[in-house]
Structures are given as C-alpha cells and as structure tokens.
Structure 1
Amino acid sequence: MRYYRCIFVLSILTTGLLGGFAKHLRLSPPWDDTHIKHSWNAVPKNWESLGHPPSGTAIDLYIALKPQRENAVVDALYEVSEPGHPRYRAYLTKEQVADLVAPRPETLELVNSWLEHHGISSSSISMTHGGNTLMLKAVSVTQADTLLGASYQLYRHIERGETIVRTVGYSLPMALHWHVLTVAPTTSFVFPPRTQWQTAQNRSDRAVKSTSGEPATVLSSRAKVNPVTPSFLRWLYDSEAYTPNTHGENVLGIVGFLGHYPSPADLGAFMRKYLSEAGDATFTVVEINGEKYDPTHPHDEANVDIQYAEAMAYPTPHIFYSTGGGPPRTDDIWMSWLKYILDQENIPQTISISYNILEHFLSREWAINACNQFAKLGVRGVSVLVSSGNKGIGPGTCMRDDGTVRFKPSFPGICPYVTVVGGTTDFEPEVAASFSGGGFSDYFKRPTYQEEAVSTFLQDLGNRYQGLYNASGRGIPDIAAQAVGLPIFLNGNEIKVSGTSAAAPIVAGIISLLNDWLILTGQGPLGFLNPWLYGRGSRGFTDITEGSNPGCNLDGFSAIAGWDPVTGLGTPRFRKMLEQLL
C-alpha cells in the first residue's frame, strides 16, 4: 500500500512539473527554430536591388493574427449581404467586428512573448485593422531583419525609378506559423503602377471574335459620342432625374495613393463646363500616414476619380483619402489605408478605388489578409467599387519564369468581397473596351454568388485557353461602365482619358445614388453588392455582348450574353436597379 502511495505522489509531482514545463514551452518556445513564411525565388520582374536602405530607416510592421473564429467575419458578411436572409442589411458596428476577428488569447501571449524576446517595446505595439492585427511602430530595418530573419533592401523599379523597401523572403518561429497569417511590408511588392491611360481600338471596322474563336459579325457602323460627358453618362445610365436628398447622411469616398492629388479648381472648371448646376461641387481631403495634400500639383488619376464621382453623385459629400509614405516607400500603402478606414467609427457608404497591382506580385497570404480587410468593410455596410485594370487578360507575354504562359488578373479585383468594374465604349450598343481587365484569380476560389453565371460562361468557352487560367477561380469583372474618351480638367487644361480608372467612380456614383434613396426611405445602405448583383440586381444592367479584352499576345476573352470576364454582368441602369430594390 505504501508503495502505491509513493507512486501516486510521484505521479502528482511529475504531472505538475510537466504541466509547468509545458506552460513554459507554450509561452517561451525556442524562438530560434525559424522556418520560411514566404519567399520569392528571385527579385520580382522590373525591380532591382540597390542594397541596404539608408541608415536609420524605419518601417511600420503589421502582424496579422489568426482570428479565434476563423470564418466568422466572412460568414457574417454573407448574412448581411444576401437578400432574403433574416439579417440582410443588419450591419455590424466597429466593436462587433472587432469581437468577430479577435485572436485567441494564447495567440496574443505567444506573439507578445516573441516580440519581448526581441526587445520590441510594448509602447510601440497597438491593435489595428478592426481587431486582429498588431502594428509595430517605427521598427528599424536592422531590428526587422533580426525579428523576421529577413534582408530588407532598397529596390528600384527599373522603368519608373521609384524606390521601395522590401525583402524577398522572411521567416517566423515554427511556433508562430499557425498563429500569424502574414507580416507586412515584407515580400509583396504592393506598389500600384502610375496610371497608364489607354487608347481603345475602334471596333467599328474590325471583326469581334466569339469565345469559340470564330469571327463574329463585322460591325459596319456604331453610334458614338465624343466626348463622353457627365450629361451623356447620366442619360445613358438613366440617373439624370434623381437628385440626392439625404442632406449629408450619405457619403462617397475616393481612395488616392502615391501623392496623387485632386484639384478643387479643376473640379470647378469641369463642373461649370459639363454640369453647370454643380459648379459649386467640392470635396474633403483626409491625409493618411503623413501625407501632405498639395492641390497645386494635381494628378490626372486623382482628378478623373473625383470629377466623375462628383459628376454622377452631386451634391453628395465626397471624401478624398490621400495616403502617403515615402520616398523611399517603407510602408505598405494598402495596409496603411485599411488601418485608417477600419479604425473609423463612421465610414462612407460607398468607396471607389482605381488603383491595382498584378496578383503575381503578391504573396497568397498577403492577398488573403488584405481581402479579409475588405470583408470587414462590407460587414459594416460599405460598398467597395474597384477598377479591373487596363491590361486585358494580362500585360506583355504573360510568360512565367518556367516558360509557361499564365493570365494575370489584378488585386484588389481578385478579392471576392469587392465589386470590380470593367470598361466599355460606344453606345447603341455599348461594347467592351479592348483594355478592360478580366480573368480569374489563382489565389481565390469562385464565390458561391458567381457559381451559376461563371459556369455558364466556361461551358461556352470550352477548351479555349485551357491551362492558362484558373477555371475554378474568382472571376472578374463583376460589372462595367464607359471608359473611353472621357474629358477631364488638369491644371486648367482639358484633356481626354481612357481607362477603367474612370469606370469605377462612375459606377460608385450610381451606387451612391441608390444608397441615398435607401437611407432617405429609412433603410440600410446596399453594403457588399455582389450577392444582390448576381441575383435580382442583375435585372438592372444592360448585358454587353460584343468586344473582347486581348492581352498576353492573345485575343483574350469575348463578351457574350450573360456574365463574361470582360464586362461582367454589364452596365448599370439606375432606375431599373431602383426597381429591383423596390
């Protein structure tokens, strides 16, 4: 009996010791047991290393943590966005979203222990991005190298000359791989290219190929308008009879990067010429991440965004978000803007973004995390409209390092939680603009709201381009609008531009009008649009069935009846969309 009692006591002591040892291991694992989180085999194309950044260079690091309830925010997004669901348009507050995405306590314990081990001051750490991202303020590059097993360098874009601080690889302790989704800025060269306005081919004198590759009917004549003015757009998209009435409750946001500023003087000149009743149009500027707004040096990108959003939604209040950081750019401009907007108690009901970056310049982890931030906007009742890009199915040859060809869609369009706008031209009928970005994501699977529409297109496409794109991926764009020959004012002079950068704010203006009517009638705004768009909302669009989007030295996809990866579901008709809401 005494023998068994000794074993029992020894067992208790051993269990207690092992339990304490296990707890110690859980809180203080071997931080030198690191494994690669993400790396590139080589420096991304068109970038070259200039060596180590200047002494004293510091960066703000964002550490995205895995939520305790991994799919909670996306599940909530579909609940509040699906017509017919009991929680349709029952949007969440900032605090409710934070609760949904909160990391596990043990995740915070581990990460904080790791940061403490590396001498990161707790005073420099804050929670951001709606509640599951740690921001480390002003970390020296030397300290970031040690923390992440990285080699941050200064990279220069060969063609544009712009510089950015990044690393081609980084590591984390093995104990953190399950807890940390991604760290930014690291390996994603998320630096939107400067605007390259496009010139669409004249489709009235050339054949348009069908998806089978056979020539379609040659278009002998087509109604054109020159230029595509605000009054024409309001007529074409049937919104000219509606005037916003919510007296400031409804707001439209425009996102700007890279020191691109809009000019109030140019906006005034534009409105006085093309929409005289809106000659007093104005906007508010919000400076983010140390940006300094300079209206004396306007940029064509910012001007087209603000001028066409205002042209469609006047007198709705507009906010222009000017996001800075550089040069050299040590920040992640997307994370900087998302941090700011998600930290706000009140967010514009509609947001337009006309910047994009090719998917293959991003790590999959970074893209997924950034996309989840857009889901947080949607669950709070925000409609996010983004341009599809101006490279058709992809720029150049689209050849990868292994010699194979792969179509190249763009972020943020690849994200299933935003609404992507392609480009059209002409009227009676409208046709696809030849540069309209479209295709299928390699990182994101096809969302359920697209299943029927995209499957129908793929059946028609057959084996054409098989292996050059991800047939099970998220398809883009969702919708389209005019994108060719739009006049803007820049530095007091009138010029014409073409690109989906114009199409996105045009559609954002129309969505803002719908939100205005909903708010006026005591309802919640549209929020995340796509489940509604691919259902009843599709009846409010004009299907585009002509044109294609060549790229990658190929003919590209063709616009056909129904959804297609050139113009999506088609172009909006405001009153028809309003009828579907009624």
Structure 2
Amino acid sequence: MYYYHCIFVLSVLATSLLGGLAKQSWEDMRTKHSWNAIPRNWESLGRPPSGTTIDLYIALKPQHENALVDTLYEVSEPGHPRYRAYLTKEQVAELVVPRPVTLKLVHSWLEHHSISSSSISMTHGGNTLMLKGVSVTQANTLLGASYQLYRHIESGETVVRTVSYSLPVALHWHVLTVAPTTSFDSPRTQWQTPRTRNRSDRAVKSTSGEPATMLSSRAKVDSVTPSFLRWLYDTESYTPNTQGENVLGVVGLLGDYPSPTDLTAFMQKYRSEAGDATFTVVDVNDGGYDPTHPNEEANMDIQYAEAMAYPIPHIFYSTGRGPSGTETYYMSWLDYILDQENVPQTISISYDNEELSLPREYAIYVCYQFAKLGVRGVSVMLASGDDGIGKGTCQKDDGTVRFRPSFPGTCPYVTVVGGTTDYNPEVAAALSGGGFSDYFKRPRYQEEAVTTFFQDLGSRYEGLYNASGRGIPDIAAQALGFRVFFNGNDQEEEGTSIATPVVAGIISLLNDWLIMTGQEPLGFLNPWLYGRGFQSLNDITEGSNPGCGTDGFSAIAGWDPVTGLGTPNFRNMLEQLF
C-alpha cells in the first residue's frame, strides 16, 4: 500500500511540475560538464561535415538509486541467501527503471525541441534513452553545446565531441550524463614491444614453453608460453567438460580484430593438442573484421585466452564507434552486450583510459553498466595498465602531481589484472598499473585489505592519490616475455593486455567446473576474492610499479596496488569452491 501511495504522490508531483514548466522556458540552462581547454592529445578540425548525425545517450537516474549495487553484492557475496541467484536481462531493466517524473520531464524537454518520438528508444538495460540520428545542429541547440570534429594527435582517430554541454536546470537532478558529449575517450591498448632487457641471468633460452630450471633466489624464464603458464598456474591437468554452455568473451576496440591463421600457427607450436582452436566474431557497431589484416592487440588477446581455456567456446567482439565516430567505444559495446538474452560467463577487456581524462559522471555511468553484467552472472576482467602509477610527470593543469590510475579498472564492479614476472617466486612487473581512484570510493569488500596496506605505506606519497578511493589491481599474472604470432611471425610482446586474458581463461575454467556440477558461474569475483578466495592465490611480495617520477608502490604481503591479492593457483581456487 505504501508503494502505491508513493507512486501516486510522484505522479501528482510530476503533473504539478510539468504544469509549472509549461509556463516557463526550457532554456534556463546550466553547465553539466566542461573542460577548461581541449583535452590533452586532441586537436580541433572545426565543424563536422554537413549532415553529420549523432546517436545521443541520455542516462537517467534510477528510481531506486542503490538497488543495482545492493543486488550485485547480494548475488556476489558467499554466504548471502541470494549468492549466485543471478538476474535476467528483463529483471535488470526493472531494477534500474527511472522515476515516472524523470521520464515525463525528459520527454517533455525533448518534445519542446521537436525530437521525434519515433527516434527515441530505451537502451542500456533500462535506464537510458537513446536518440537516434540527431543532427549536430539540433544537438547543439538541445545541449547548449558546440560540437566539432576532433582528431587524436597520436592515433589519428577522429571523433565528434564538444568541450562543454548544458542541461535545463530542472533536469540536473534527473539526468546523470549525456554521451557522447565531453568524453574524449581514445582507449589505449595495454601491450608493448619489450624494451631491451639484460638476459644474462635467464635460466633458459628456449621457446619450448617447458618450465625453466629454478635458481637459488628466483627463477627467470626467457619466454612465456602456454605450457609454462599452465604449469605455473596449475591448470594443465584439468580438461573442460561443458558442451557449449560456458563461453569466454574477448572485447576488441579501436577496430582491432584477430587472425584465425595466426591462432592456428600459435596453437600448433605452443599447444599442439589445441591446433583446431577457433573463435566466433561478432561485429559491434561497425567494428569490422578482415582476418587478412589483424591487429597485434587482438591477436595476443585471443591467443592467450584460447591457450588457457581451450576448448571452451570463444567470442571476439569487434567494436567500433559507428558512423562518423560519434559514439564511445565502451558504450557501443555495453549497449550491445546488455541487450543480449545470453551473455558470456567470462569477459576479457585489455583497453583503458586515464581516469582523470574522462568526465566523472560519464565514468560513473559506464561503471553502472558493468555492474549490470555482474548482476547477470558475468565475470569481467580488465587490464590495470602498463605505466605503473602513471606515465610521464603526471602533472595536472594547475601544476600539481596526481597519480594516474586507469579506467574502467577503477570501477568497483570489475576485476582488474596487474602484471608479474619471473617465478619461484613471482615478482611484480615494473609496468604493472595500480593506484587509487579519484572517482570511486573504496568498496566494502576492499576495506580490510586496503587498510592493512596503508598501515605499511604510512605517509609516503600523501596527497598524490585518493586514500579513500577504490584500489587496483585485484589480481595479477605474468606480463613479460610472451610469445605471440602476428602475420605469421613468432615475436615477443608484454603487458597487462596479455595477463588479462590469461586470468580470464583461468576463471573460465572455474566456471566450467561449476556449470558441469550443476552450479551457477562465479559472476562478479571481487567479494569472493577478498572474502576467502585470496587464500588460494600466490601472494606477491617483491617489486614495485614506478611512475609519475616516483618509485611507485611496493608489493607487500597481502593486497597491494601493484599485484593486488596475487596470482592464480587454479587447483587451490577450485578447492575454495567446494
């Protein structure tokens, strides 16, 4: 009865408010977000070509603001009565439905600006309106914006964006963000060709992938291959049993896609019994797929996901921005995947942006979309970055230094993978991204682990990071010296880009066992990892991640912002699931 009373009151308020707004102008605008200057590494090319249109996403605040995250924790925390009781696509939509007054206000505003109702649809799991094919001129009027064509100085990619946009004052409380507007996102791939390293102390110089001879202190391996990883993380004796129920998804952005020919050559050399490994390609928003012109990022991602999880089925999502580069990569892919009735149980993403390079409310919105995947039982793995705690001097516009953690990894609802090297024991790889979010507060599952780290850190780097922010990474894996096939060549690459599909492959094996035994998959991993799963990991206590002109954070016993809780031990993790 109380619920229906509240709905009645809201309806009355909405009618009253709309009546009031009808008597005043929708032109009472206030800035929603703006940059002081064109974001770093971008340049303006002037107005976009005549006739350019934009698909605008209007993210609406939900009626029950905490319902999504509360439900995510309920289905993700071992011991909770709803643990692994995942939701369907339709149930998620009900969970995030906007207030009736919000919908009425927004539709009234759009009607005032002559936006055709036929061009408006609900998307992104139930709390987003998409306006299809809005002209740039109309978007400028609607949002008090000045859209231009911008080019990324390093990649040459062009996008249609504005450095500022506004909304009517009456909508600020109802609308979280509008995109694409000020989100100058050009995701970075987290791999690199290895810098010259001193190999004189390598234990072996072989590409066979067999474990190297151990040294008295710690062992080094010349090349990281599937057989080495499967031995190191104890998956080699496990044979997956599911018949297509369990799927591993690998996300490609930036027009990246892999070569099936290179995958075959890679598997034949480094995991011969899996020479028939293959993958399905899904083209998302004009991502494209030309197997004769592969990309190194996509190749290494699919090769190591397959190497760890074969013969579990793999899907590669080739994701684009759409015509004229008007959409954001993250929203393009999330829009697609959240609309699917069936989604992969495990997903690997090896791209990121510096968190501070994106608008806060846009980052929050994207993060909520990942939470929707977790509620549906998906384990999402993201790379922590390859620049330690930040690239270069990390100076802000005002001259102050701020560490630069990577987004979407700073989102509390995904699992972030850092990097290690060597073995017996493994140590932190210097490139391993880590740090603390400026946008997202520390999640409750991290409270004890991060507090313990700060007790060791003391006042070091005070003021250079947000001590109350979400810490990354959560877990780690080997990140240096990988053998990868590209255009028929066997070459070496490194980065958390490859560590991420390695961990995703191991999680997919755990999901395989759960499904085989009639159970639900792991879903959002972090509450389990920090609650008890950490006991099954290999704790990393040596190394650091320098950056921003500093020595970076140090790996210590327990969690740290270099290697997280440690690296996987599949058999120990499997025992934790019993």
Task: Give 1:166-565 correspondences, 5 Å limit.
Answer: 166-194=161-189, 196-197=191-192, 199=194, 222-325=218-321, 328-565=324-561
Structure 1 residues 439-487: Cα deviation after superposition (integer angstroms, max 9, x where no partner)? 0000000001000000111110001000000000000000000010101
Secondary structure of the residue that 2:101 maps to in structure 1? helix
Partner amino acid, structure 1, of 2:234: D
User: Aligned in 2, Cα 1:29/1:240: closer, same or farther, shift over 3 Å?
Assistant: farther
Describe the SS at the equivalent of 1:571: coil
Structure 1 equivalent of residue 132 of structure 2: 137
CA separation of 1:20 and 1:542: change in aligned 2, threshold 3 A:
closer
Please give the root-mean-square deviation of Cα atoms over the aligned residues, in Å: 1.8
Residue 81 of structure 1: aligned partner:
76
Aligned to 1:213: none
Contiguous gaps of at least 5 residues in structure 2: 1-12, 202-214
The one-letter code of the counterpart of 1:474 is R
- The offset of 1:199, in angstroms, is 3.3
Q: Distance in 2 between matches of 1:336 and 1:434?
A: 33
**Tell me, what secondary structure is at the counterpart of 1:551?**
coil
Q: Hey, what's the Cα distance between the residues in 1 that align with 2:487 and 2:22? A: 59
For the 8 Å contact 1:162–1:328, the answer to whether it is kept is no
Please tell me whether the aligned partners of residues 28 and 110 of structure 1 are also in contact (alpha carbons under 8 angstroms). no
In structure 1, stretches of 5+ residues that fail to align are 1-17, 207-218
2:29 equivalent to 1:34 = yes
Contact 1:388 1:476 (8 Å CA) reproduced: yes
Shift of 1:203: 9.3
Q: Distance in 2 between matches of 1:25 and 1:557?
A: 55
Shift of 1:195: 5.2
TM-score, structure 2 length as denominator? Answer: 0.93
- How far 1:161 sits from its partner (Å)? 2.1
TM-superposition CA deviations, 1:267-313 (whole Å, max 9, x none): 00000000000000000000111232111110000001000000000
The aligned residue for residue 63 of structure 2 is: 68
Q: Is the 8 A contact 1:204 1:221 kept in 2?
A: no
- Matched-pair contact (CA < 8 Å) for 2:287–2:318: yes
Tell me: CA distance 1:301–1:416, structure 2 relative to 1, closer, same or farther (3 Å). same
Aligned residues: 553
CA offset digits 1:398-454 (Å, max 9, x no partner): 001111000000111000000000000111111111100000000000001000000
After TM superposition, the structure 1 stretch with the greater mean CA deviation from structure 2, 238-247 or 220-229, is 220-229
Paired with 2:519 and 2:393, the residues of 1 have a C-alpha distance of 48
Opposite residue 31 of structure 1, the aligned amino acid is W
Q: Which of structures 1 and 2 has the bigger CA Rg?
A: 1
The structure 2 residue matched to 1:49, chosen from 21, 44, 54, is: 44
Q: Sequence identity, in percent?
A: 76
- Tell me if structure 1 keeps the 8 A contact 2:354–2:404: yes
1:137 offset after TM fit, Å? 1.0
Pairwise CA distance, 1:317: 0.3
Matched residues in 2 for 1:22 and 1:140: separation?
29
Which of residues 113, 120, 123 in structure 1 aligns to 2:118? 123
1:120 deviates by 1.1
The whole-number CA distance in structure 2 between the counterparts of 1:204 and 1:571 is: 24
Contact 1:29-1:175 within 8 A present in 2 as well: no
Superposed CA offset, 1:38-82 (max 9, x none) = 111111111111111111111111100010011101000000000
**Counterpart code for 1:302:** A
Distance (whole Å) between structure 2 residues aligned to residue 20 and residue 279 of structure 1: 65
| Equivalent-residue separation in structure 2 for 1:555 and 1:326 (angstroms) | 41
8 Å contact from structure 2 (residues 240, 509) kept in 1: yes
Equivalent residues in 2 for 1:95-106, closer than 5 Å: 95-106=90-101
Distance 1:565 1:195, change over 3 A: closer
